[in-house]
Amino acid sequence: MRIRVVDKIRIQLLIFPTRLMSALDTAKEIVRIGSTAGLSKDVIDLMEKKLSLLTEQVILLEKENSLLRLKLSHFETEKANLRAQLQNLQPVGFEENMGVLWKRTANGFEQHPYCKECASHPIMTPVHEARTWVCATGNHIAPFSVKPPASII
């Protein structure tokens, strides 16, 4: 009974499942199996040429992979730096007073405060029954007693 090359590869994978091979090792293994399986010289020569092409492709892909990993590392560092800068930024056109943000207008400040805690600084709406301001996300509150900076006496 003659065993096909594909079957030999399957047997190899079943016998050595924990042995991990790189693509290059796999290609070399295919040629080795093909040469021991009684294939003709022409088929073996063709497989060796294909292996050579595959080897070149693997080398190029490994170089590209290294470059992409380096770029990824650079972008992750840049992202971390930008996030740190964002944490320290004050929103433009706002002034903080009494734990909330007030948006400046031509005549002073808007009537409704903005949430200082939320990253997007949503506007706060009054809840008259509770005598509080609540941000649009519903996660933060401020008492009605907060006033814009200009109206502090």
**For the segment 62-93, what is each residue's pLDDT rounded down to a tens digit?**
999 999 999 999 999 999 999 888 776 666 67
Do 62 and 39 lie in one domain? The reply is yes
- Counting DSSP H helices and E strands in the chain, the numbers are 3, 6
18 pLDDT band, cuts 50/70/90, is very low
Do 102 and 132 lie in one domain? The reply is yes
- Domain total of the chain: 2
Candidate from 36-50, 89-103, 124-138 with smallest mean pLDDT: 36-50
**CA proximity to 23, closest of 70, 59, 47, 63:** 59
pLDDT digits (tens, 9 = 90+) for 20-33: 456 677 777 777 77
**Helices 23-36 and 41-88: crossing angle, nearest 10°?**
170
The beta strand positions in the chain, using DSSP E, are 94-97, 100-105, 108-109, 124-127, 132-135, 141-143
Residue with tokens 């009054």: 126
Do 45 and 110 lie in one domain? The reply is no
Do 10 and 78 lie in one domain? The reply is yes
Token representation of residue 7: 């079957």
151 pLDDT band, cuts 50/70/90, is low
Do 59 and 112 lie in one domain? The reply is no
Gap between the Cα atoms of 56 and 114, Å rounded? 60
The pTM is what? 0.40
Q: What is the residue range of 134's domain?
A: 94-151
Give me the chain's average pLDDT, please.
Answer: 78
CB contact at 8 A, 98 and 147: yes
